[in-house]
Amino acid sequence: MADEVLKPESPMGGPNIVFEPEHQAPKNNGFKKVLNKIKTYLSIPSNVIILVFGIFLSVVVLYPLFRMVLSSLLVQSFDEGVKLSEAYKVTLAEGDFTFLMWPYTLFNPNNIIVSEKLFWQPLGKSTLMALCACLIAIGVGGTLAFLISRTNIPFKKFLSTVFVFPYIMPSWSMAMFWENFFKNNVASTQIGLLQSMTGICVPKELLYGFWPTAIVLGIHYAPFAYILIGGILRNMDANLEEAATILKASRFKILRRITLPIVAPALVSTILLVFSSSISSYTVPYFLNKDNSFNSISIMLKNQLAEMSGRGSGYVIATILMLFSILILTINNWFTRSRRSFTTVSGKSGQINKINLGKVGKWIICAVVTVFVLFFAIVPLVTFVLESLEESTGDISTVTFKYWFSPDPVMSDPYIEARHYSLNGIFYNDTIMSGFGRSVLLASIVALVCGTGGILIGYAVSKNRRGRLSNYVSSLAFLPYLIPALCFSSVFFSVIKTETFQFLDASTTMLESSAIIICAIVGSVKFLPFASRSGTNAMLQLSGEIEEAAIINGCPWPKRMLRIIFPIQKASFISGYLLPFISCMREYTLFVLLTRPSTLIVNVLDYYSRNSADQLANGMNLLIVLFVIVVNLFVNWVTGASIDKGIGG
């Protein structure tokens, strides 16, 4: 029976009786429903992970991007305000919002030659250089992929393994090798390995400038083309070529009408990715520009950001390069999707009809390929060893171990000593060992963050594949891959120049810890795509029944991750830790704007190289390269995987 509720008397006298339902819902029932939904949502670990990473990545990816674009629209210094005010007859002060920096950078009203030298000429030269690098990468990598997957050339496994060394090594190591090998007393002040052995002096144009940069970058990215094209050639259905052979099609026609169309997606992907990476490369043009004959767009970007009076123009250039690279990779993704009609893996013939190069021909071609591969994979290590041991460069009779093991200064340089940099042997050099230790520390932090983050993102994305927030996090985690390293660095460079985050600016605080913190953040975000893709792919391979069985038995989520999921996909997860470690250890472009000359081993190497301490610089280069190669071999040993596995036949 409903409860009677007495109200004040009615106008007719007597109590005003109102009947209310016995089970009337409370007024705050809607709030409780929302609260219960939130509790239910947060009770699922994958939802919590997605939410946390959605917030985190929005802060560390989207905010810096917004900040950099905004920085291109703000007057960065008093000098910039004066220049813009005089050029456009306005009154601007530091911090004012204006669009004028864009036309001032691209079309200087006072002197258009300034804009040409600052932006248009470097951009044009860099574009042409990147195209040349693409042709070299495709020509070298594609040819070797075809030889190994489609011919009877000997020593396939050896060539396949050794050929990826130039990609494993830092790109600036290849640049230093090029200089060590070809420098001579005609184009330089010292002699290199080629002149000391043969007396041959190459022209200056082949030692420094446009062509050496294009060749080194092309060789550096050739293994990338080899991996992509070789993988497709190996997985291609042999029945297609066999059918064409039965129909008496010529070898050239089979190549033109069948093989090339099938590998077209890999070719386009290689061209676009190599082009994007080459045009924004900083280290190779920097090391091979000692005669200032090739000021690439990346060098101009770094120089502008390093100067207060040109920082606004630097942000404009960085924004343009970033948009340019994203456009290129968007075209790549569109082209790849549009070519889905090419089915290359199906029920296929396992017998591939390989081209017979002949009993003599195969050994001649093998010898040529082996010499080429060894020259760019093994000879660089030899030159680094010799250059770090020779008292007089190019003179093997002056070999000494003092540059490695001397506890006393091995050379005298007042400029270096005035900066309190050690000139002792490498293993007794506090500057070098401290830089190396900080590099290992930074790489370890980045690996820990990326590896753990990649596993968690992979787990959460696999459990919420159709969720909007899941797709948002997955896309945002991959976004840093689309942005060139120097542009991505300039994004955070604009952030640490604000008053709020100035404590992370090592050039202001003069603390190496400030540089390590900001580099750890930048490296973790930049290399997260490798780990997140690895984690996602690994989690998608697991059946949901495995975890469901553990849930039924009352196993909590941390225990499920540590005792069930991680052991099953251990190989993929470990690579998610070690690959960012390797990448961070050899990285220089990403950190050059955020560090001091003594922060990391690559900074010290650059400083010694610029100040003619060549033996110490080459020794450090060898130390880094060997460390990276050893870690790579350790990755292969632990995970049982290799990036060239399966191509070598």
The highest-level CATH class for domain 99-388 is mainly alpha
- Give me the chain's average pLDDT, please: 83
236/352 Cα distance (integer angstroms): 9
Q: Which residue would you say has higher pLDDT here, 627 or 254?
A: 627
Domain span(s) for CATH 1.10.3720.10 in the chain: 99-388, 402-649
Among 253, 261, 257, residue whose Cα is nearest residue 233: 261
Is the pLDDT assigned to residue 647 strictly greater than 50? no
Token code pair at residue 446? 């980045």
Give mean pLDDT, residues 548-553.
Answer: 80
Q: What pLDDT, in 10s, does the model give residues 475-521? A: 888 888 778 888 889 989 999 988 889 999 998 998 999 999 999 99
Are the CB atoms for 33 and 39 separated by under 8 Å? no
Token code pair at residue 561? 């991750």
Is the pLDDT assigned to residue 620 strictly greater than 50? yes
Q: What is the pLDDT of residue 225?
A: 85
Q: Is 14 exposed, middle or buried (0-12, 13-18, 19+ CB in 10 A)?
A: exposed
Query: Model's pTM, two decimal places?
Result: 0.81
Q: What is the pLDDT of residue 417?
A: 80
Is the pLDDT assigned to residue 26 strictly greater than 80? no
Q: What is the pLDDT of residue 340?
A: 45
Helix, strand, or coil (residue 644): coil
Q: Which residues, in sequence order, are CB contacts of 61 under 8 Å at separation 6+?
A: 476, 479, 480, 525
CA atoms within 13 A on the CB side of 621: 31
Q: Which single residue is written with the structure tokens 């810890």?
A: 513
CA distances from 179 to 186, 194, 487, 537, 616 (A): 13, 10, 27, 41, 15
Reported for 233-236, long-range contacts at CB under 8 A and 24+ positions apart, including other chains, are 233/145, 233/146, 233/149, 233/150, 233/259, 233/263, 234/149, 234/646, 234/647, 234/649, 235/344, 235/345, 236/262, 236/263, 236/344
Out of 2-6, 363-367, 540-544, 614-618, least confident range: 2-6
Q: What pLDDT, in 10s, does the model give residues 218-228? A: 999 998 888 87
Q: What's the one-letter identity of residue 177?
A: F
Q: Domain 402-649 adopts which CATH fold? A: MetI-like fold (1.10.3720)
Q: What is the pLDDT of residue 345?
A: 44
Is the pLDDT assigned to residue 594 strictly greater than 90? yes
Are the CB atoms for 277 and 221 separated by under 8 Å? yes
Give mean pLDDT, residues 547-572.
Answer: 78
Token code pair at residue 628? 């990276």
Is the pLDDT assigned to residue 581 strictly greater than 60? yes
| pLDDT band of 541, cuts 50, 70, 90 | low
Q: Which residue would you say has higher pLDDT here, 336 or 366?
A: 366
Q: What is the pLDDT of residue 17?
A: 52
| pLDDT band of 23, cuts 50, 70, 90 | low
| pLDDT band of 238, cuts 50, 70, 90 | low
Q: Is 55 exposed, middle or buried (0-12, 13-18, 19+ CB in 10 A)?
A: exposed
266/260 Cα distance (integer angstroms): 10
| pLDDT band of 297, cuts 50, 70, 90 | very high
